[in-house]
């Protein structure tokens, strides 16, 4: 096999180089170390290393990533998560206001359809008039062909409240102070204003529970003996029994009269439709003078007691008939 002269020339050169550089193991190891320490960067470029800065705490690189660890520092790490606001307490519902006493719709004067002429109501209380009408209107027909009571309802009447009368510290109802809770209890039970029940007590007995009338009427509201069944210990003057019985009797009377208030108040004193002056005063000539019907009753009741006015006060004595005076 023939070898070209060119190839032989190259081989000769290589052999000459190898002979001039002996194979030293330490030199090879050092060379290898320098090669492994070199950067892979292109020749001729200087690579500068960047100093790593700690990533701020709480910053996320994206969904599913974890925040970088906080650098050691004495300063508390900041956070980008705000605390949830403290919920405001829900406002407590305000209690319902207590029911106000019924108010008249007439600016302090009785105002109803009249079948007996002028009502004669006055804001100032006089001997014969007041906010619930004049005595001649209340007694319509008594001095003529007979009593024809104008129709009014409980809600039409102008009055003060019993609590207001007591709290005023003056007026006739101070005599009823011990029994106010009973008037309120049974007034509520039977649907009658407490001031109205207390007015019966003032009219009938001056709120004296031990009063006995000329016809044997008993206690605060002067109930008749036929209503005393079931009284505790047979005592018809027991205040609780007496007021409860009187309140029920009046409520039943009012309901039986279709809400006709004047007829019902009059009935408590023995009035009836068609009553005349002669009939009302007939008992004056009998052994029971006080069994007469008091012809000033309605005016004294509605324009006196129910306004916290003493109807029997001599300085403003209410009425014009005073037919019971002959019994003194």
The domains of the chain, with CATH numbers, are: 135-327 (1.10.530)
Torsion sign (Cα): 219, 225, 230, 235: positive
Round to whole Å and give the CA distance between 53 and 74: 17
Q: In whole angstroms, how far apart are CA 174 and each of 158, 290, 305? A: 20, 26, 12
Q: 211: which residues sit within 8 A by CB, 6+ positions away?
A: 204, 205, 217, 218, 219, 220, 222, 237
Contacts of 146 by beta carbon, 8 Å cutoff, 6+ apart = 273, 274, 275, 276
Crossing angle between the packed helical segments 261-268 and 239-256, to the nearest 10 degrees: 140
What pLDDT is attached to residue 87?
Answer: 58
Report the C-alpha gap between 177 and 166 in whole angstroms.
7
What are the backbone dihedrals phi and psi of residue 6, each rounded to the nearest 5 degrees, phi first? -65, -45
Candidates 268, 215, 213; CA nearest to 246 is 268
Q: What is the pLDDT of residue 244?
A: 98
How many Å apart are CA 152 and CA 137, to the nearest integer? Answer: 12
List, for the chain, all residue ranges whose pLDDT scores fall below the cut of 50.
1, 3, 14-50, 52, 54-81, 93, 95-106
131, 122 contact by CB (below 8 A) = yes
**In Å, how far from its chain's centre is CA 290?**
47
Instruction: Encode 122-138: b = buried (16+ Cβ within 10 Å), e = exposed.
Output: beebeebbbbbbbbbbb
pLDDT at 275: 98
Q: Which residue has the tokens 């605060």?
A: 220
β-partners of residue 218 are 212, 223
Return all residues near 269 (Cβ < 8 A) that are at least 6 apart.
293, 294, 297
Structure tokens at 103: 């108010």
Q: How far apart are CA 79 and CA 73, in angstroms?
A: 15
pLDDT at 5: 58
- DSSP one-letter string for 252-295: HHHHHTTT-HHHHHHHHTT--TT--HHHHTGGGGSS-GGGS--T
Which of left, alpha, beta for 117 (phi over 0: left; psi -120 to 50: alpha)? left
d(CA 204, CA 197): 11
Give dist(CA 127, CA 315) in Å, integer.
10
Integer Cα distance of 321 and 294 in angstroms: 8
| Of 206, 222, 208, nearest in space to 305 by CA | 206
Q: How far is CA 57 from CA 62, 67, 71, 75, 313, in A?
A: 14, 6, 8, 12, 92
**Cα 242 versus chain centre, distance:** 33
Is residue 243 within 8 A of residue 220, CB to CB? The reply is yes
């Amino acid at each position: 096999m023939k070898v070209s002269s060119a190839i032989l020339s190259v081989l000769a050169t290589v052999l000459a180089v190898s002979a001039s550089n002996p194979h030293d193991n330490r030199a090879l190891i050092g060379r290898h170390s320098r090669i492994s320490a070199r950067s892979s960067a292109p020749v001729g470029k200087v690579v500068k290393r960047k100093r790593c800065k700690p990533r701020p705490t709480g910053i996320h690189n994206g969904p599913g990533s974890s925040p970088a660890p906080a650098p050691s520092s004495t300063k508390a790490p900041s956070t980008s998560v705000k605390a949830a606001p403290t919920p405001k307490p829900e406002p407590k519902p305000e209690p319902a206001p207590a029911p106000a006493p019924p108010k008249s719709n007439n600016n302090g004067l009785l105002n109803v359809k009249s079948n007996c002429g002028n009502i004669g109501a006055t804001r100032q209380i006089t001997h014969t008039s007041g906010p619930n009408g004049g005595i001649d209107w209340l007694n319509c027909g008594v001095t003529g062909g007979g009593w024809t009571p104008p129709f009014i309802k409980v809600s039409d009447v102008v009055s003060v409240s019993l609590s207001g009368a007591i709290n005023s510290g003056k007026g006739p109802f101070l005599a009823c102070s011990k029994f106010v809770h009973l008037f309120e209890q049974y007034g509520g039970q039977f649907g009658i204003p407490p001031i109205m029940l207390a007015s019966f007590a003032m009219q009938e007995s001056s709120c004296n529970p031990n009063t006995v009338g000329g016809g044997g009427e008993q206690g605060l509201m002067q109930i008749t003996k036929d209503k005393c069944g079931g009284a505790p210990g047979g005592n018809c003057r027991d205040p609780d029994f007496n007021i409860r019985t009187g309140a029920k009797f009046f409520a039943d009377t009012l309901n039986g009269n279709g809400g006709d208030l004047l007829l019902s108040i009059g009935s408590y004193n023995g009035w009836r439709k068609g009553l005349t002056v002669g009939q009302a005063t007939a008992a004056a000539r009998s052994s029971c003078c006080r069994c007469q019907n008091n012809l000033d009753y309605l005016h004294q009741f509605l324009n006196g007691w129910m306004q916290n006015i003493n109807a029997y006060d001599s300085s403003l004595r209410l009425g014009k008939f005073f037919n019971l005076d002959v019994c003194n």
